[in-house]
């Protein structure tokens, strides 16, 4: 697999920040931003750029999935419970 281009890497980086911004919990969103910065700094000079890029893509998919799961569960918590009589 060829190494990703600079524009592909920047696109992935920005996608993480967009995902963090829409996270229902601001604290978790800030955590995603911090982890993104750390991950990209760590892999800045990685010899296996394609492998690091693929890992980043899979982590982005997981983060997007967590946004959806978190939003559904948050909605369930906010919804008033109906007691059966």
Domain ranges of the chain: 6-78
Cα–Cα–Cα angle for 75, 68, 32, rounded to 5 degrees: 110
pLDDT at 19: 95
pLDDT at 84: 57
Q: Which two tokens stand for residue 24?
A: 């229902």
pLDDT at 17: 96
Distance CA 23, CA 68 (A): 9
- pLDDT tens, residue by residue, 41-82: 998 888 888 999 999 999 999 999 999 998 888 777 777 666
Residue 27 has pLDDT above 80, yes or no: yes
Q: What is the value of pTM for the model shown?
A: 0.78
Checking 72-77 for CB contacts under 8 A at 24+ apart, the result is 74/24, 74/25
**Radius of gyration in angstroms for the set of CA atoms belonging to the chain, rounded to a whole number:** 17
Averaged pLDDT score across all residues of the chain: 88
């Amino acid at each position: 697999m060829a190494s990703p281009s600079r524009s592909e890497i920047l696109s992935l980086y920005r996608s993480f920040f967009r995902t963090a911004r829409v996270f229902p919990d601001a604290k978790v969103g800030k955590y995603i931003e911090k982890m993104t910065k750390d991950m990209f700094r760590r892999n800045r000079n990685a010899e296996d750029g394609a492998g690091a890029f693929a890992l980043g893509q899979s982590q982005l998919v997981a983060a997007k999935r967590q946004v959806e799961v978190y939003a559904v569960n948050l909605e369930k918590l906010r919804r008033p419970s109906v007691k059966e009589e």
